[in-house]
Structures are given as C-alpha cells and as structure tokens.
Amino acid sequence: MNVLVGISLLVFLAGIFYRIYGWLTQSIRPAAKISAADRVSSAFKGFFGTIFSGQLAEIVKTFFTDVLFQRRLFSKSVLRWTAHGLIFVGFILLLFMHGLGTGVSNFFFSDYESTLQPYLSLRNLFGLMVLVGVCIALYRRLTDTPKRVKSYSSDWISLVFLALIMFSGILLESSKISSYSAFTAMAEDYGDLTEAEEMLPLETYWAANFGLNSPNVAKPFDPDLVEEGQSIHADTCMDCHAPLTGAFVSFSMSKIVGPIAAGLGDSGAVSFFFYLHIVSCLVLLAWLPFSKMFHVIAAPISLLINGVMGFKEPGKDPANVLNRQMIGLSACTHCGSCSEMCSSLMFYESFQNDFILPSEKVQFLKKIAAGQKVDQETLTNLQKGLYICTSCDRCSEVCPSGINLRELFVSSRYHFLGQGIPETSMLSHFSFPLSLTRNFLDDHAQALKKLEKIFKDSFSKLKDLTTVTVSDPAQVGTNSYQSCYSCQRCTNICPVVRLYDDPIEKLDMLPHQIMFSLGIGNKEIAMGSQMIWSCSTCYLCQEHCPNQVEITDIFYNLKNAAINKIEGGRA
C-alpha cells in the first residue's frame, strides 16, 4: 500500500510540473516571439509585484468573493452554484479531516479519532454533500444538453470517480459496522477481551444497538446480556468509539450491506471495499493533473490572476497575457455557463456547428495549444465558430473559473490567419468587434487584403459586365424579391448607403439593384457585391418595404451562398 501511495504521489507531482511547464511554454499563437524564459521571468515579476503592492487587498477580496463563495456562479445559477459548492466543500473537508486525518486533524484537534464524535457524523455529512452535488451535476448533464451540446468522456469520468470514492467509502464503513470479524479484531486489539463470557455480552450489546451481524446472538436479545455488554462497552470502547448511529448514512446502509456481506464472508467484503476505496482515491490523485479535474487547482489561480489583471483591458505584458490564456484553458470545467449566455446561440440553432458555442471551442483550443493533431474538418468548423463570435464578452463575465474568453478567442482567430487560412466570414459585420480590441491590426488588414483578392477572383462586378443576360429568377431561400417594383425605398433609408458620397463606388451595388439582379437571374454579381457585407442588419429596409420584400434575410442567404461557393465550389 505504501508503494501505491508513493507511485500515485509521484505521478501527481510529475503531472503538476507538466501542467506548469505547459502554462509557461504553450500558446495559441506560436508566432508571438516570446521565449519560455521571458514568460517565467514575467510570471515571477507579476507575482512578487502583486504581493508587494496595493493590489494585495484585491487578491484577498477575489479569494473570498470568487474563489471561496463563487459570486459569479451564484449570480447566474443557484442550482449550479449549489452543486459546485456541495462537491467542492464536501470533498475538501473530507480530504483534510479524513484523508489527511493523521497529519491535519490531529494537528488541530488533539482528541481526534475517526470513530469519535463529531468526526464520525461529519465524515458522513461531507460524503453525503459530495454525492448530492454529483447527483445535481448528473441531472444537469442529462437535461441541459440542448444548450451545452456535448458531454465528453472526461466529464463523465470525473463524476464517476467522485461518486465511486464516496460510495466505496460509505460501503466500507457500512460493511465494517456490521462485520463480525472486524468487531472481534477490534475487541482483541483495543479492548483486550478474549474470554467468551466477556465477548458475548459485548457482542449482544453491539448487535442490539450498532447493527453488528453476530453468528452467536440473535433477536430477541437477552436484556441482561445487553445491560452487561453496555457496562463492558463503557469500560473498554467508549473512550475511542462513539455510538455508530452517529454515522447516519453508513449506519443506515449497514442494514442492507450487512446481511449481504455476511453471506459472502464479511472479512472479504471489508477487504474488497477497503481496496476499492483506497485504489479509487489513489487513481484520482494520479489522474487529477491530466484531467479536467485539474481545474480545482487552475480555476482559483485563474480567478486570482484576473482579479488583478482585469477582464476588459488587454494585458500590458504580452508574456503574462500568454500565461493567463494557458492557465485559463486549464481552468475550464466545461460547465457550459458561457454557452448558455452566448449571444451567438441562435446561430448554433441554425448551423448546428458545435464550435459556435464557447465551451466547445475551449476544449479543442486546449489541443491546439498543446500541439496535438486536429483533423481538418474540426479545424474548419472551429474557425467558423471563432468568427461567428461577436466579442460581446458575456462569456467572460459569467465564467465561474474567471477565464478571459474574449481575449483567448481573438488570439485564436489570428492563430488561424497566421497559418494562411483565410476566413470568408470576416467580411461580415461580425469582424467589426475585432477592430475594437486594437490588437492584431496588421494581421487583420493583411487577411482582409487576401480575402478581397479571393472575392475578386471568384465573382463578377456590375461595372465589369459588358453584356447582361436574363434568365430564371435566382434561388435565395425566398422569392419575396419578385414583389419589388423599384420604389428604391430600401436604398433611400439604408444608413450604410447614406454613409458615402459615392455609395456605388464603395458598395458596388445598392440594395434595390441587388433585388434587380436576382430578378433577372444574375445571382453571381449580387454575391460579389460589397453591399451585402457592409450591411449592418438594422432591418430598416425590410421594415419599410411597402411590398414586404425580405431584403436583409436575402442578404444573409447571399452571404452564405458566397461562402459556400468559395469554400466548396457551390454557387
């Protein structure tokens, strides 16, 4: 057992060092020329600069409000806050009061003994808290799928491990409560009771009051033996063993577990549950740094860092910005809070691309940062999901782990552009928030120039046409444009058109001209028009059209058709 404990601890420590190494070496954008030495230096400077500054008060405040009391989570979902609190508080208290009992509890409580009160009841209470929290988490995983989209195997494994540790611990204590072999070993080791005339009364008392399954006594119990056993118990057991009814969960379970264990051999049942419990704990310890459970370490660090650096403004130190992003990836719990509040959620309903949702993007950004291979289809969908993001920052505001998701997603967009992969969607108004970040401006300008050339090579312009042909009306998802009778109200009310002195020069075509082109069957020049990409989707044209032409919706369909043609050769 000591060997297993040693191996688990070594694996755990190796995993911690591996994770910290990843924080200081990995990045979403390898093009950022910042060495690992610079990042380590910046991390130490940031740490000590914060400790010995006026920001220490902010750290203390963040620790209590965000780390311990989970203010951000509570403000969004009381149920989720309850599940998190029950699991975290129950597990940590069990770890320090029970798992590390001899090293921690004995230090704080000189009379600590796991079989005494209040420790006996508290252990059951904390275990029950974790189980209730796990049940709430399972309920959410099973009922909240339309918004969270996916639950990965790591999500289920984490919950299973927690449940297994709690159940095996309860079953171990239940089997020991009812075990005759455990009782006799305890009586011999601690009570110095070997004579049958002393053992029988004590057995009778324990069978009557503590759920012991004894082969020597049966109901109805002899009241004289019970009274004598109570006296022996008071003399030999009471100092180190509280009434087992105090273990309210395990004692109740022992009434079910006891008869089954006795039938199978109670010593074997106790040994089985003991090894199941210990091995489960050791496997979790070794697995923790390599799993999503690592967020129990990374999330508090992420919250403290963002408590100091803030969310809204870009970090002043690029090295620490990279460090913060990598810690943030480790801190993600895949809880789905960001996805449920995402302003692009309606686009997921339309396109069914998992990577439109923030929680799903983060899972694969972890792989990209670690240099793992990701298939091309996944990369394409991830890139589309990144560009549909509006940078509204709602995800960062609700993230219970304090991850600056907007900053992370903006960097990720330019990771793809740095690899020479153009993104057609960036021509739309969704790319506008990128300019507000005041970051990557040169990258953005270069990407737009590349994309502009692709569109020029793919579509004809109205001014370049020498002949105009007439064919069947174009297919754009609606035929409402056939009701257009050239009043030009759409063009006259359009705020984008009014923005320019010479709108045709800037926009290629005006809204009413696009309706004309569709009417004569020339969808090609409509898809190549800058107007559909400059459209602010204010819907003024559609609202004021006297014939109810769905102009803005048609622009959406044209943009999707243009992207499909470029990416897949479809018009």
**pTM beyond 0.75:** no
Catalogue the E-assigned strands of 5-118.
none
Burial of residue 467 (CB within 10 Å: 0-12, 13-18, 19+) is exposed
3-state DSSP assignment of residue 47 = helix
User: What's the pLDDT score for residue 441?
Assistant: 67
472 in a structural domain: yes
User: What's the pLDDT score for residue 433?
Assistant: 53
Q: Distance between CA atoms of 292 and 330, rounded to whole angstroms?
A: 7
Is the pLDDT at 571 greater than 50? The verdict is no
Compute, in degrees rounded to 10, the torsion defined by CA atoms 163, 168, 169, 172: 160
438: left (phi over 0), alpha (psi -120 to 50) or beta: left
Last residue of a domain, one of 442, 457, 472: 457
Domain total of the chain: 4
- 4 confidence band (pLDDT: 50, 70, 90): confident
131 in a structural domain: yes
Contact 529, 514 (CB under 8 A): yes
Indicate whether 153 and 102 sit together in one domain. Answer: yes
Domain that holds residue 420: 336-457
Indicate whether 403 and 547 sit together in one domain. Answer: no
Last residue of a domain, one of 405, 429, 457: 457
471 in a structural domain: yes
58 in a structural domain: yes
309 in a structural domain: no
306 in a structural domain: no
Last residue of a domain, one of 436, 457, 478: 457
284-342: per-residue pLDDT in tens? 889 989 888 898 899 999 988 888 776 555 556 788 888 889 999 999 988 888 888 88
Indicate whether 494 and 407 sit together in one domain. Answer: no
Indicate whether 453 and 378 sit together in one domain. Answer: yes
User: What's the pLDDT score for residue 343?
Assistant: 81
**Is the dihedral angle over the CA atoms 175, 176, 177, 180 positive or is it negative?**
positive
Q: Distance between CA atoms of 238 and 162, rounded to whole angstroms?
A: 33
Indicate whether 446 and 480 sit together in one domain. Answer: no
Indicate whether 450 and 478 sit together in one domain. Answer: no
174-201: per-residue pLDDT in tens? 888 777 777 777 777 666 665 666 678 8
Highest-confidence range of 61-65, 389-393, 454-458, 461-465, by mean pLDDT?
Answer: 61-65
Q: Distance between CA atoms of 361 and 340, rounded to whole angstroms?
A: 14
Indicate whether 158 and 183 sit together in one domain. Answer: no
**Is the dihedral angle over the CA atoms 462, 468, 470, 472 positive or is it negative?**
negative
303 in a structural domain: no
28-67: per-residue pLDDT in tens? 875 457 888 888 898 888 888 877 777 778 888 888 888 8
Indicate whether 24 and 150 sit together in one domain. Answer: yes
Tokens (6 digits) for 243 = 């009434």
Indicate whether 546 and 417 sit together in one domain. Answer: no
Indicate whether 431 and 541 sit together in one domain. Answer: no
Average pLDDT over residues 216-245: 78
CATH of the domain at 544: 1.10.1060.10
Indicate whether 290 and 210 sit together in one domain. Answer: no
304 in a structural domain: no
Tokens (6 digits) for 196 = 């049958």
Q: Distance between CA atoms of 336 and 211, rounded to whole angstroms?
A: 44
Angle value at C-alpha 569, between 568 and 571, nearest 5 degrees: 110
How many distinct helices (H) and strands (E) make up the chain?
Answer: 31, 0
Indicate whether 432 and 476 sit together in one domain. Answer: no
